[in-house]
Structure 1
Amino acid sequence: MAASDEFRLLKLAADSYHTWSIRARAALVQKGCWDAIEPGYSEEMTDKEKKVDNKALTFLFLVVEDNYLDDIGESKTAREAWTTLEEMHSKFGLLHILQLMRDFFNVRMKEKESMQSYLGSCTENCQVQDMHSPTEKSPW
């Protein structure tokens, strides 16, 4: 493999979805697997499509932190796994809202943390209430 073909993709972490998704897409395009994600394959895949989809799905499993494997581990297709990750990090995705709620309820003031810093963390986690525009139906 030529040096220009080599790349290093950091695993997806909670705060890196935007840059990770760009690099993951580039890597999938380079591997000839992006069609498994966009437009995706129908349930009736040819043998060639199954091979490409499995390659893309395996790639996704390998480039996310372990905590995401619970969310995408049962995905049948690469598109399903990609969509799950996308929804988890989307501002309006239900999974993202649930993640923010979990973070909110788990906020604890650390020893030697200032009240201002603690309240800043609480306020930041209150983004859940601002997740929906007035024209959008709430999932609750």
Structure 2
Amino acid sequence: MGDVIQLQVPQLTKTNYGNWSIRMKALLGSQDCWEIVEKGYIEPGDAATEAALSNDAKKALREARKKDQKALNSIFQGMDESTFEKISDVKNAKNAWEILQKLFQGVKKAKKVRLQSLRAEFEMLKMKSSENIDDYANRVKSVVNEMKRNGETLDEVRVMEITSADQHTKWMKETM
């Protein structure tokens, strides 16, 4: 009998939506379910319409429903009780994903304010005297990733300038 791989569903918290959504996209993609979450599928309006479908169309609909329920189940597994209550009555994975996106990413205005704050934080990044180069680089990368998740397109050269300038300054201080 084949090996069964138990997938670890990431848990959504109040503060990790950006990383959670990246992990969930990868998980759902590995299950061949991401496209159904992203694009959804068309559900026939009634039983008569469904009955009139060709056999191939019925088979495709069954497959879409199966993928959708698989994706919805994975999304549900990543919720705590309070967040689950907010999406528990949805009928498909696409709707659940969109509700979570609005809840955690916020509306465009809030996103714009968040991005302005992140830009300021990025520009003010300085290596702390107690910080090693790896920790500083990780802090820069964290801010950059959050900016990208909020719609910013950053030039990698600019990111390297910020990282390299502080690393060089610290190295110079340490060697003198």
Paired with 2:17 and 2:35, the residues of 1 have a C-alpha distance of 20
Higher helix share: 2
5 Å matches for 1:78-89? 78-89=93-104
2:86 to 48, 51, 71: 71
Q: Structure 1 length normalisation: TM-score?
A: 0.59
**Radius of gyration: which is bigger?**
2
- Over the residues paired in the alignment, what is the CA RMSD in angstroms? 2.4
Q: Which residue is equivalent to 1:59?
A: 74
Q: Which residue is equivalent to 1:32?
A: 32
Paired with 1:72 and 1:13, the residues of 2 have a C-alpha distance of 15
Larger RCO (CA within 8 A; separation ≥ 6)? 2
Q: Which residue is equivalent to 1:16?
A: 16
Structure 2: give runs of 5+ residues left out of the alignment: 45-59, 111-176
1:47 aligns with 2:62: yes
2:39 partner letter: P
1:8 partner letter: Q
Cα 1:21–1:54, aligned 2, differ >3 Å: closer, same or farther? Answer: same
Q: Which residue is equivalent to 1:90?
A: 105
Q: Structure 2 length normalisation: TM-score?
A: 0.48
Cα 1:20–1:49, aligned 2, differ >3 Å: closer, same or farther? Answer: same
Q: What is the aligned residue count?
A: 94
Secondary structure of the corresponding residue to residue 38 of structure 1: helix
1:26 partner letter: A
Percent identity among equivalent residues?
A: 28
Runs of 4+ in 1 over 6 A off after TM superposition: none
2:26 partner letter: A
Paired with 1:74 and 1:86, the residues of 2 have a C-alpha distance of 16
Answer whether contact 1:72 1:81 (CA < 8 A) is retained.
yes
Secondary structure of the corresponding residue to residue 43 of structure 1: coil
